[in-house]
């Protein structure tokens, strides 16, 4: 594949960016009353809406055309079709990438290696949702016959962040047992989570594709000890543990019945797995019907992504706009600002989806890239962020694009207060774009009674440069269907960027080396005579010494 930076479409974008050196959003809005209308797209799916306002970006109509030409030049359509067709686009692991199959509730066949995978997907989903309903209705009970009141998901990475984000996001829809998430190998995570729980009414979900993940299995064994100690028999394990895994042998050896293991497949990447059996904690919290709505929402985004013209295609637009700043304006990070407290974990989930996918330095052919790839993804819910780090977004030297995500209405809470939330969201994007000139700052201060000299001194500190880009994503409400739409939107955004950069967004070799070294070091911490690598010897010695000083 040609190095991306040598493509004429890339070079045209470089020229475009240079031509926009004096572009300012304040002037752009003043000059063109139709700017918003030019740069807004809406996806309608039943009652749900996803509106993308990208008028507050450093683009003109021509810029958008050039970005779309780059997408075509990189055969994005072919890449999308290859994913949906089940081709082995994860070329370093020789795997298909088919999380989209998990949310296609139709019976339309999908072949992998000549076998239709859809019946197996439906069968496991039915078994998983059936378990969820039995627990929710009290038909599945603990060893003593007690109803399950608390579920603890034991998993890490994709087996934690996705289901946790979604469970938290859908808090207003919870009508099942309380659901807790323990991920960290830090023993304090499990210990403090279990303190208020009753063993007799607690169900553990052990979520690990291989059933060997060190964090998850260490916590699972500790949880089993806690349970067995309390209930007095190993036999209790079977009523208090289920597994989401593909390792039937080790699952059985742990004490979990085969009927209570829910499998998934090698074409489901961890960070895209909340739609599979990994979503069991979500289903336990919100129930079968709403879980299916969640899948249906994601599927609606899949169909949009697969079929809509790129100029109307929300994931394509979001991906191109992100790339525009990473590659042509030097943006190293991208901030996610959901104006919803329930979306508190949305950025943490996207950190994995985006950074694990596109944090790559070689292309599919193994050549080291001549350009940047995935940015750092970070953010906290608004309005909280406004009182913390928005200072830097508004007045720091760096360009950091922001995605504002907000719902038009709040079905469960006070509408007047929700309007204040929405007003703050819109105000931040306007402020970032328009700014405040030093002259305006001076005039405000003198009007408020400050001396001309003092106003002059303070004006540079109270000036806002503006011209800072953001997208606003407006939905009707954050219900299960819409959360499916939104989450799939970002999955596909990441796909778009990876396809254009020519990287493999679906492997994660960068996590392997740390595991190897950790295993060696864990041995060395337990045995003072074990060899330690040169970079670790000093700190390992310090650790040992600190523990011996009492």
Separation CA 49–CA 45 (nearest Å)? 6
- Other C-beta atoms closer than 10 Å to the C-beta of 121 total 22
CB 388 within 8 A of CB 394: no
Q: Is residue 542 a contact residue for a second copy (CB under 8 A)?
A: yes
Sites for a second copy among residues 329-358 (CB under 8 A): 332-333, 335, 339-342, 348, 351-352, 355-356, 358
- 3-state SS, residue 364: coil
Chain centre distance of CA 339: 16
Q: Is residue 539 a contact residue for a second copy (CB under 8 A)?
A: yes
Binding mask 196-225 for a second copy (x = CB under 8 A): ------------------xx--x---x---
Q: Which stretch binds a second copy (CB under 8 A): 133-141, 179-187, 254-262, 290-298?
A: 179-187
CB 360 within 8 A of CB 504: yes
Q: Is residue 408 a contact residue for a second copy (CB under 8 A)?
A: yes
Catalytic annotation present for 387 = yes
In the set 72, 137, 370, 387, the catalytic residue is 387
Which residue among 1, 15, 19, 36 contacts a second copy (CB under 8 A)? Answer: 36
CB 408 within 8 A of CB 401: no
Compute the least distance from the CB of residue 250 to a second copy, in Å.
19
Q: Is residue 359 a contact residue for a second copy (CB under 8 A)?
A: yes
Separation CA 240–CA 230 (nearest Å)? 12
CB 264 within 8 A of CB 273: yes
Query: Which residues are CB-neighbours of 191 under 8 A, at least 6 positions away?
Result: none
Number of residues that bind a second copy (CB under 8 A): 153
Catalytic annotation present for 515 = yes
Following DSSP, what letter does each residue of 315-349 receive, concatenated?
Answer: HHHHHHHHHHHHHHS---EEEEEES-GGGTTHHHH
Compute the least distance from the CB of residue 115 to a second copy, in Å.
25
Q: Is residue 228 a contact residue for a second copy (CB under 8 A)?
A: no
Query: Which residues are CB-neighbours of 435 under 8 A, at least 6 positions away?
Result: 26, 463, 464, 465, 466, 467, 468
Which residue among 14, 149, 410, 437 contacts a second copy (CB under 8 A)? Answer: 410
Q: Is residue 175 a contact residue for a second copy (CB under 8 A)?
A: no
Query: Which residues are CB-neighbours of 156 under 8 A, at least 6 positions away?
Result: 183, 184, 213, 215, 216
Compute the least distance from the CB of residue 346 to a second copy, in Å.
13
Q: Is residue 29 a contact residue for a second copy (CB under 8 A)?
A: yes
In the set 60, 215, 263, 356, the catalytic residue is 356
Q: Which stretch binds a second copy (CB under 8 A): 10-18, 310-318, 480-488, 509-517?
A: 509-517
Catalytic annotation present for 57 = no
Q: Which stretch binds a second copy (CB under 8 A): 140-148, 246-254, 305-313, 470-478?
A: 470-478
Compute the least distance from the CB of residue 196 to a second copy, in Å.
10
CB 258 within 8 A of CB 252: yes
| Closer Cβ to a second copy, 200 or 348, answer by number | 348
What residues are labeled active site?
356, 387, 515
């Amino acid at each position: 594949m040609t190095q991306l930076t040598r493509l004429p479409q890339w070079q045209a974008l470089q020229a475009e960016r240079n031509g926009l050196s004096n572009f300012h959003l304040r002037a752009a809005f003043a000059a063109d009353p139709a700017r918003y209308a030019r740069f807004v797209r809406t996806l309608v799916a039943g009652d749900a809406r996803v509106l993308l306002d990208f008028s507050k970006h450093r683009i003109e109509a021509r810029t958008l055309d050039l970005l779309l030409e780059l997408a075509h030049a990189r055969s994005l359509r072919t890449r999308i079709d290859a994913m949906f067709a089940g081709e082995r686009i994860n070329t370093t692991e020789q795997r298909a990438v088919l999380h989209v199959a998990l949310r296609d509730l139709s019976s339309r066949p999908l072949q992998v290696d000549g076998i239709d995978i859809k019946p197996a997907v439906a069968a496991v989903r039915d078994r998983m949702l059936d378990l969820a309903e039995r627990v929710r209705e009290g038909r599945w009970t603990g060893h003593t016959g007690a109803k399950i009141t608390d579920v603890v998901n034991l998993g890490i990475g994709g087996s934690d962040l996705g289901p946790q984000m979604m469970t938290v996001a859908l808090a207003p829809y919870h009508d099942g047992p309380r659901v807790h998430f323990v991920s960290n190998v830090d023993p304090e995570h499990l210990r403090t989570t279990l303190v208020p729980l009753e063993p007799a009414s607690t169900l553990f979900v052990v979520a690990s594709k291989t059933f060997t993940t060190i964090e998850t299995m260490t916590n699972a064994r500790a949880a089993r000890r806690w349970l067995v100690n309390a209930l007095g028999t190993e036999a209790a394990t079977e009523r208090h543990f289920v597994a989401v895994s593909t390792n039937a042998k080790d699952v059985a050896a742990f004490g979990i019945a085969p009927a209570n293991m829910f499998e998934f497949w090698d074409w489901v990447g961890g960070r895209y797995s909340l739609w599979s059996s990994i979503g069991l904690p979500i289903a336990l919290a919100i129930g079968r019907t709403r879980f299916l709505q969640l899948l249906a929402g994601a599927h609606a985004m899949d169909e949009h992504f697969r079929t809509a013209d790129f100029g109307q295609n929300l994931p394509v637009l979001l991906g191109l706009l992100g790339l525009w700043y990473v590659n042509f304006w030097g943006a190293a990070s991208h901030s996610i600002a959901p104006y919803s407290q329930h979306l508190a974990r949305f950025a943490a989930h996207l950190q994995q989806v985006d950074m694990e996918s596109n944090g790559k330095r070689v292309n599919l052919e193994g050549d080291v890239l001549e350009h940047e790839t995935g940015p750092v993804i970070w953010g906290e819910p608004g309005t909280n962020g406004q009182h913390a780090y928005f200072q830097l977004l508004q007045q720091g030297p760096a360009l950091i694009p922001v995605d504002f995500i907000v719902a038009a209405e709040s079905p469960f809470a006070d509408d007047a207060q929700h309007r204040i939330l929405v007003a703050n969201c819109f105000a931040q994007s306007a402020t970032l774009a328009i700014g405040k000139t030093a002259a305006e700052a001076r005039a405000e201060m003198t009007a408020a009674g400050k001396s001309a000299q003092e106003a002059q001194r303070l004006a540079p500190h109270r000036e806002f440069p503006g011209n800072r880009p953001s997208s606003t994503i407006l939905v009707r409400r954050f219900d299960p269907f819409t959360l499916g739409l939104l989450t799939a939107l970002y999955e596909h955004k990441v796909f778009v960027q990876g396809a254009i950069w020519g990287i493999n967004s679906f492997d994660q070799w960068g996590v392997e080396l740390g595991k190897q070294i950790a295993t060696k070091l864990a041995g060395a911490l337990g045995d003072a005579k074990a060899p330690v690598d040169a970079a670790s010897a000093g700190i390992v010695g310090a650790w040992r010494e600190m523990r011996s000083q009492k």
